[in-house]
A and B are shown apart, each in its own frame.
Chain A
Amino acid sequence: MIADGPRQHLPYWGFVAHRVSGLLLALFLPVHFWALGLSLRGAASLQGFIGWTDLPLVRFAETGLVVLLAVHLASGLRILALEMLGWRAAQKNLVAVSFGVALACGLAYLLRAF
């Protein structure tokens, strides 16, 4: 599992997943607030937006969003467990578990979406 490179170990990829998912979610946040803000202009504009989100392609993209949220949440919980509970031997397995939970959340959403 440990490759002979400077950054090829699993905990490093756990860090990358946490950081990249966080940055992508930060990019999404303005869109999220803009969509919420539509409700201030009345029900019709918000309803129009919600109708747009029913398009299959948008539903599919939302799955990616849910996966990002799940990855970020699971990675964050992993860090808290490592640092606050002082777990040692099972650290690397935790990375796999957190990814598994994240993926399961995303796939469960995908099944519901269609």
Chain B
Amino acid sequence: MVTSLEKQVVIVGGGTAGWMTAAAFARLLPSGCSITLVESEQIGTVGVGEATIPHIRYFNQLLGIDERQFIEATQATYKLAIEFVGWGEASSRYMHPFSAFGPDMGGVDFHHHWLSARGALPNLSLDSFSLAAQLARADRFAPPPPDSDLGYGYAFHLDASRYALFLRRYAEARHVTRREGKVSRVVQAPEDGRIEAVVLESGVRVEGDLFIDCSGFRSLLLGQTLGVPFESWKRWLPCDRAVAMASEPLDTPPSYTRSTATATGWQWRIPLQHRTGNGQVYASDFLGDDEACEQLRQSLNSHPLSEPNLIRFEAGCRARSWEKNCVAIGLSSGFLEPLESTSIYLIQMAIIKCVEFFPAARDQTFSREAFNRWMGLEYRRVRDFLILHYHLNRRTDSAFWNGCASMDIPDGLKRKIDLFRESSTVEHYEQGLFAQPSWLAVYLGQGLSPEGWDSRAMPAAQTTMVRSLEAMAARLRELARGAPEHREVILRGGLKREPPAAMNLYGERHGQ
């Protein structure tokens, strides 16, 4: 039986990761646990994850947060997809929606039928068979319809600093203690090296049983104190700089994030209610910081509201996210560029797994092992999916992209690509974020043409199949046109009733 759940939990670092952790712990951990968060107003936050994926709704619902209040507090807009511009050939454009594409037909996945018939359907891309993508293209938003064949998930673009503040209020109202101050020293137990306390510059000593490192890139506890090494993935994800800049809000905020490939990386555009988040991610070997800032300025769709904010990073993660009695959550654990909006998701998963494997006894061996196995898998699966975008580029305009196309990639990813290239089959796995629809979006969106597909999709009566697919796409277009404009829904404060959320990228259809 549980020996003791009455623990002193100390979170080092505020920001999105720190306050998400504090809020979730306040809600989920036993009342006997004390939760203290140490942060300093003198230390800025990176403010990761302005674009999110649908899992954030599950997190908010778990905490009992009302969606309309959340939208108001974080100046959020809805998000149904990410549009990738120029990632295949320079002129290419595709959506990665939070949905599957089309229904299974005759027990065969839809995309095989589409591949079989696409010669006769030059104007219908895979996006045409996703209601979420169609809504996004039309700058519209509606909650997913009950028809499961059309189901999708939705997420938000949000102001991460405001989200952290919102959660701070939530957490402090639930007895989370905030201590202002910089950590000057970390005290370790001489016998086993576990962390006993952090000492602030003021001399205040904050003791704990379990320490959560949310100190960002510094990785103050896990990296600096406990010496857990950082495993770099720069050889596969070569970008190491980002410059971010806010601009005025768009008149018609789209219900999707845009990612536009440039000659040396990519740019994001994230529409919020009160501003537009813009950024450029690039490889410093190929582009200088000043040039990057200038390129970003030139690409803005609205007047700038801030000076460029430069962020240096390296893709990779710590060899272990949980070491001794310290759990790293967020950037202190690892960093993957925001290409697929996974930062907040990885924070969320770390929090959930920390609660699932919460150590009841003093011995945390199994908690550590289980947590590290799980998070290691999550990071690597997301990593491979990001590498896919770079590796499958079909651009010919720069050494950067040529290098990405010809680089060695992880074996597991190579196997996945080979399988799809040969047979249009997406390698199956159940644990991890991105399932078949996501892989399809990128494979086909970036122009990987498979050599074959399921022979059952060879239409005996091709004309019938073509008509059927045309009718399907027309229906989705029609449904999208009939949906409210995204801008209007936001002006009304969001949906009146929020549908139940799932830990799932695609609504109820895939990836359960």
A complexed with B: no
